[in-house]
């Protein structure tokens, strides 16, 4: 069953094919109204259920529009409103939804719950963000970098701040897609060691934000307080020196770009002058969630 749970588990050739497909689908529907189906809709009659345990703007809307453009339809389910929220098991929920819909996208607190869902489902399951990773986001980010730079091979990406779920999916992608990644994270906020070991020499970790950004083609930030983090005040204090400022950006290559998955907190993890400035690609990045999600749905369902 082609579950889309983590980039580390998906063959590099498949990831590359999905990125190429996303770019081709984006080009093929240029000029069409956003709600119009693709010229050659790939998934007519297919239904995607989306389960949300946490808030979402981009993931929810991009997947909804994605399945529509592919000729299918979607259901949005808040976990708290389902029997899941009253204690029905993940295993039973997965088996029941497998009888009604063709694929499920889940945004969950605990990564293990998405894995358990996939193990009990007879249909593809997509990770729409967990505490552990955010693979759909990184597909859109890599597509954005391909559009801007032409290729990913040899690019140097710098992640600055919390070594969180989004950072983990960049780490998973680096050895597969040929870019180098340096994470600049304070002590205690680094990524999981097993992810670093698996990634090998493509990924490096430092506590020095300036060293991480030096000579980078791409500088990436994310919120200092992720959904589910309880220790917001401490995180803001510890991570404050890792704000992506114009001064920090100046250490990157002159043509460097800035990415952020959004939602952003101007003045915390990034200066407004950076995220709203000429180096920022954040709204192309947000738009590309749509095109990348379409390629993921096709990979799961075709
Ligand atoms: N970047 C992202 O996943 O945004 P949402 O939380 O709005 O879905
Ligand atoms: N790291 C953030 C990403 C939000 C899209 C979070 O988990 O809240």
Residues with CB under 6 A from ligand 2: 129, 164-166, 222-223, 226-227, 261
CB 64 within 8 A of CB 121: no
C-beta of 137 in contact with ligand 1 (< 6 A): yes
Residue 238: half-sphere exposure toward Cβ, Cα within 13 Å: 18
C-beta of 129 in contact with ligand 1 (< 6 A): yes
Residue 237 designated active-site? no
Residue 222 designated active-site? yes
H/E segment holding residue 78: strand 73-78
pLDDT band at residue 73 using 50, 70 and 90 as cut-offs? very high
- What is the per-residue pLDDT across 212-230, written as a single tens digit (0 to 9) for each? 999 999 999 999 999 999 9
Residue nearest to atom 2 of ligand 1 (CA): 58
The predicted structure's pLDDT at residue 127? 99
Show me where the domains of the chain are located.
Answer: 7-134+289-301, 135-285
Given the CA of residue 162, which atom of ligand 2 is nearest to it? 1
Query: Comparing C-alpha atoms, which of 183, 165, 161, 166 is closest to residue 236?
Result: 161
CB 82 within 8 A of CB 93: yes
Given the CA of residue 286, which atom of ligand 1 is nearest to it? 1
CATH of domain 7-134+289-301: 3.40.50.1370
Query: Comparing C-alpha atoms, which of 101, 122, 120 is closest to residue 51?
Result: 101
Given the CA of residue 54, which atom of ligand 1 is nearest to it? 6
Q: Which burial class, exposed, middle or buried, applies to 57 when counting CB atoms under 10 A from its CB (0-12, 13-18, 19+)?
A: exposed
pLDDT band at residue 198 using 50, 70 and 90 as cut-offs? very high
Query: Annotated catalytic residue: which of 68, 132, 289, 291?
Result: 289
Query: Annotated catalytic residue: which of 185, 243, 261, 300?
Result: 261
Strands (E), 202-256: 203-206, 218-221
C-beta of 223 in contact with ligand 1 (< 6 A): no
User: How far apart, in whole angstroms, are the C-alpha atoms of residue 95 and residue 92?
Assistant: 5
Take residue 30 and report the two structure tokens written for it.
């240029």
Place of tokens 């095109």: 291
All residues at 6 or more sequence positions from 36 whose CB lies less than 8 Å from its CB, including other chains = 29, 69
Query: Annotated catalytic residue: which of 137, 146, 279, 293?
Result: 137
Q: Which of 105, 165, 263, 284 best tests ligand 1's pocket when mutated (most atoms within 8 Å of CB)?
A: 263
Take residue 16 and report the two structure tokens written for it.
């590359």
pTM of the model: 0.98
The predicted structure's pLDDT at residue 115? 98
The predicted structure's pLDDT at residue 118? 98
Residue 137 designated active-site? yes
C-beta of 59 in contact with ligand 1 (< 6 A): yes
Helix (H/G/I), strand (E/B), else coil: 88:
coil
Residue nearest to atom 4 of ligand 1 (CA): 58
- What is the per-residue pLDDT across 17-46, written as a single tens digit (0 to 9) for each? 999 999 999 999 999 999 999 999 999 999
Residue nearest to atom 3 of ligand 2 (CA): 226
Phi and psi torsions of 109, nearest 5°: -70, -50
Q: Which ligand is nearest to the CA of 285?
A: 1
Compute, in angstroms, the gap from residue 243 CA to the centroid of ligand 2: 16
Residue nearest to atom 6 of ligand 1 (CA): 56
- What is the per-residue pLDDT across 158-172, written as a single tens digit (0 to 9) for each? 999 999 999 999 999
Work out the mean pLDDT of the chain and round it to a whole number: 98
Helix (H/G/I), strand (E/B), else coil: 230:
coil
The percentage of residues in the chain with a pLDDT greater than 90, rounded to a whole number, is 100
Residue 181: half-sphere exposure toward Cβ, Cα within 13 Å: 29
Helix (H/G/I), strand (E/B), else coil: 29:
coil
Mean pLDDT across 144-161 = 98
The predicted structure's pLDDT at residue 157? 99
Class of domain 135-285: alpha beta
Give yes or no on whether 7-134+289-301 and 135-285 have one common fold.
yes
Query: Annotated catalytic residue: which of 68, 134, 172, 235?
Result: 134
Omega of the bond prior to 263 within 30 degrees of 0, cis?
A: yes
């Amino acid at each position: 069953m082609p579950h889309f749970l983590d980039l580390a588990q998906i063959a590099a050739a498949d990831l590359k094919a999905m990125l190429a497909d996303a770019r081709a689908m984006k080009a093929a529907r240029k000029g069409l109204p956003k709600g119009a189906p693709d010229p050659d809709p790939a998934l007519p009659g297919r239904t995607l259920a989306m389960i949300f345990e946490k808030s979402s703007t981009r993931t929810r809307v991009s997947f909804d529009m994605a399945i529509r453009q592919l000729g299918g339809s979607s259901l949005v389910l808040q976990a708290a409103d389902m029997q899941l929220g009253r204690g029905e098991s993940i295993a039973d929920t997965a088996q029941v939804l497998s009888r009604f819909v063709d694929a499920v996208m889940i945004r969950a607190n605990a990564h293990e719950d998405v894995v358990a869902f996939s193990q009990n489902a007879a249909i593809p399951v997509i990770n729409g963000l967990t505490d552990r990773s955010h693979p759909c986001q990184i597909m859109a980010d890599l597509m954005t970098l391909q559009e801007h730079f032409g290729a990913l091979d040899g690019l140097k990406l710098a992640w600055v701040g919390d070594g969180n779920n989004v950072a983990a999916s960049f780490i998973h992608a680096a050895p597969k897609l040929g870019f180098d990644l340096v994470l600049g994270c304070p002590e205690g906020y680094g990524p999981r060691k097993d992810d670093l070991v698996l990634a090998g020499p493509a990924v490096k970790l430092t506590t020095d934000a300036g060293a991480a950004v030096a000579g980078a083609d791409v500088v990436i930030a994310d919120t200092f307080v992720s959904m589910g983090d309880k220790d917001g005040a401490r995180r803001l204090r510890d991570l404050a020196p890792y704000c992506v400022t114009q001064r920090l950006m100046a250490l990157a290559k002159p043509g460097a770009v800035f990415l952020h998955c959004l939602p952003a907190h101007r003045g915390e993890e990034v200066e407004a002058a950076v995220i709203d400035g000429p180096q920022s690609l954040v709204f192309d990045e947000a738009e590309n969630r749509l095109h990348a999600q379409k390629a993921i749905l096709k990979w799961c369902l075709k």
